[in-house]
Amino acid sequence: DTAVSQTPKYLVTQMGNDKSIKCEQNLGHDTMYWYKQDSKKFLKIMFSYNNKELIINETVPNRFSPKSPDKAHLNLHINSLELGDSAVYFCASRLTSNGELFFGEGSRLTVL
Amino acid sequence: TQLLEQSPQFLSIQEGENLTVYCNSSSVFSSLQWYRQEPGEGPVLLVTVVTGGEVKKLKRLTFQFGDARKDSSLHITAAQPGDTGLYLCAGASSSGSARQLTFGSGTQLTVLP
């Protein structure tokens, strides 16, 4: 069973389009995250949700909107895609009381 | 913003050699973690160190947390091709009600057979 699963794994789209990436975790964790990994492999936090509530919202363009319908899901919607949005986006989860982050396999977004 | 600098950024060595990766910051962290990431996958936790000066061993990997809890090192003895991957350190700090992890810049290790 996959602990943290993201879909799609690959996404190629044109500039200006709107796209979504979905994430689900079956670990019973109460906190979920979205991270962006650029071409230099730097992993930067974008958002964090705790029990469906937004906790961390780093300096991210408001074209990015996370949505958490329940504790097990955290989706990422991106409007008006730009070339600079090309990256690998990782979903992760953990129990607030425990430090270990569990990551999904990543979603590679390519904007043409 | 808390920054974690890792060095070296790239490391290519022969099988059997030893190596050390460093993770440095000017900030104090409540704990520090090391992750390894392989191509096409997400990072996987290797270890968490909590106490200043703490040393943890995981088979051929030795992790140390600096006394001031600002830096850490990862030493690999007799490296093997299976050790190849991107090594990331991550410092934990408290931010309001949420604990936030700040990731280092990463060290790409390649072990040649």
pLDDT digit string, tens, across residues A2-22? 799 999 999 999 999 999 999
Judged by a CB distance cut-off of 8 A, whether residue B10 touches chain A is no
- Rounded Cα distance between A89 and A6, Å, is 9
φ/ψ (deg, to 5) at B82: -65, -15
pLDDT digits (tens, 9 = 90+) for A36-45: 999 989 999 9
For the cut 80, the answer to whether the pLDDT of residue B100 exceeds it is no
Cα A50 to Cα A52: distance, rounded to the nearest angstrom: 5
The predicted pLDDT at position A96 comes to 75
What is the pLDDT averaged over residues A26-53?
90
- Which residues in chain A have Cβ-Cβ distances shorter than 8 Å to B97? 50, 55
SS3 of chain B: helix, strand, coil, percent, to 5 = 5, 60, 40
Report B:28-47 residues touching A (Cβ under 8 A): 31, 33, 35, 37, 40-45
CA gap B64, B18 in Å, rounded:
16
CB A19 within 8 A of CB A11: yes
CB spacing of A106 vs B44 below 8 angstroms: no
Q: What is the pLDDT of residue B97?
A: 44
Mean pLDDT for the stretch of residues A33-60: 87
Place of tokens 């958490």: A68
Residue B2 is predicted with a pLDDT of 59
Does A42 sit within 8 Å of B106, measured CB to CB? yes
- Would you call B65 helix, strand, or coil by DSSP? strand
pLDDT of B94 reads 64
CA distance A35 to A102: 12
- Residue with token string 């071409």: A39
- What average pLDDT does chain A have? 92
- The residues pairing with B94 across neighbouring beta strands, listed in sequence order, are B99
pLDDT at residue A100, rounded to an integer? 87
Closest CA to A68 of A33, A18, A107: A33
Residues of B in contact with A54 (CB under 8 A): none
Would you give the DSSP letter of residue A83?
A: G
List, for residues B22-69, the tens digit of each pLDDT value.
999 999 998 999 999 999 999 999 999 999 999 999 999 999 999 999
Residue B72's nearest CA partner among B14, B109, B16, B25 is B25
